């Protein structure tokens, strides 16, 4: 048995059990910063399984990184560590390339944005063609094994032309890159990562958006669905925070954004209905309650009874005229 094991080890060693050249992460991506909010992020798509587990890296108040092509995944954490030490994006890029001792450095592709808005990118001369990158004031778009330079160019134009928050601008850029051909091999996975200090849901979370479609023939449709849900829950979290601070107007505004992103969400409409009432718009409250009842008639009375117990909403339980409109068949007991 020992002899057989020794032979097996020698065979594996002689046949190079670990491939010298790993598959390239052929993809198109964009790294960007929103100077107004401080958000930074990466959006990426590829004909590659689970591209979100390899390419995007980001840390709030530090920077965002995309590492791809003949990828050195270590670039992600290494770049963030150097940015935390105070180096700028161009300085970090120069250092990680100089210190890269792994095979295939001339086939790498990497882009970095730091918290001050500095941008740096590199496309190695041996990155699989077509490969290249383009930069704008707040972004860098790049890719390899693409149909051509029109991909990063279209991404940059879409990013600049899209209004609203960074998540929407990144998604628009990704869609635009795909619309002009994207990865020449086709589609499989996509990811968006956005960070903002304490911007994520729950406590002590800087990940404002982190969604992944790992294996799907149409990853963009699924990515859009996940992004809308992610943003709906983000705004719901902002609503709860504002409500806890007794800022009902701010809470209502956040609830309205939640409904925009999740128009079929029962709880989102229910919560907005209460906030509309509490801020003096009874007609709008009735509309939201009607939508909630339509979406989930079985749970509407129970959800309503639970929420009306809150101090901010107790006045509703004594508003006879309003309750008659809300429950024409009688208030549920």
Which CATH number, 3.30.420.40, 1.20.210.10, 1.25.40.10, 2.30.30.100, labels domain 242-326? Answer: 1.25.40.10
CATH 3.60.20.10 fits 27-217, yes or no: yes
Query: For residue 287, which of 308, 259, 253, 320 has the smallest C-alpha distance?
Result: 259
Query: What pLDDT sits at residue 23?
Result: 64
Neighbours of 145 (CB within 10 A): 22
- Tell me which residue has tokens 């080890």: 9
pTM greater than 0.85: yes
Give dist(CA 326, CA 297) in Å, integer: 13
CB 83 within 8 A of CB 61: no
Query: For residue 26, which of 180, 183, 135, 187 has the smallest C-alpha distance?
Result: 183
Domain boundaries, the chain: 27-217, 242-326
In the chain (333 residues long), the average pLDDT of successive 10-residue segments reads 41 37 78 97 96 98 97 97 98 98 96 98 96 98 97 98 97 97 93 95 93 97 98 95 94 97 96 95 96 92 82 86 91 77
């Amino acid at each position: 048995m020992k002899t057989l094991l020794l032979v097996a080890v020698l065979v594996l060693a002689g046949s190079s059990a670990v491939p010298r050249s790993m598959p390239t992460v052929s993809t198109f991506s964009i790294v960007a910063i929103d100077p107004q909010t401080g958000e930074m992020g990466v959006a990426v798509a590829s004909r590659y399984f689970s591209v979100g587990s390899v390419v995007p890296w980001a840390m709030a108040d530090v920077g965002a990184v995309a590492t791809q092509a003949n990828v050195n995944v270590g670039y992600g954490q290494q770049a963030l560590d150097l940015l935390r030490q105070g180096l700028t994006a161009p300085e970090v890029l120069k250092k990680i390339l100089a210190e890269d001792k792994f095979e295939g450095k001339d086939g790498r592709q990497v882009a970095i944005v730091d918290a001050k808005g500095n941008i740096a990118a590199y496309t190695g001369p041996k990155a699989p063609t077509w490969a290249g990158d383009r930069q704008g004031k707040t972004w860098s778009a790049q890719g390899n094994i693409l149909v051509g330079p029109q991909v990063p160019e279209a991404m940059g134009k879409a990013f600049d032309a899209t209004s609203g928050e960074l998540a929407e601008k990144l998604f628009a850029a990704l869609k635009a890159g795909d619309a002009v051909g994207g990865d020449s091999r086709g589609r499989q996975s996509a990811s968006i990562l956005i960070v903002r200090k304490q911007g994520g849901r729950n406590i002590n979370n800087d990940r404002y958006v982190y969604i992944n479609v790992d294996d799907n023939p149409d990853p963009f449709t699924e990515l859009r669905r996940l992004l809308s849900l992610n943003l709906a829950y983000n705004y719901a979290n902002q609503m709860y925070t504002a409500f806890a601070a007794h800022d009902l107007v701010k809470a209502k505004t956040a609830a309205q954004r939640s409904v925009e992103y999740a128009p079929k969400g029962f709880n989102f409409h229910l919560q907005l209905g209460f906030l509309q009432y509490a801020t003096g718009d009874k007609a709008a409250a009735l509309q939201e309650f009607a939508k909630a009842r339509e979406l989930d008639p079985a749970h509407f009375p129970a959800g309503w009874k639970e929420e009306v117990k809150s101090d901010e909403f107790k006045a509703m339980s004594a508003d006879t005229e309003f309750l008659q409109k809300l429950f024409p068949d009688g208030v549920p007991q």
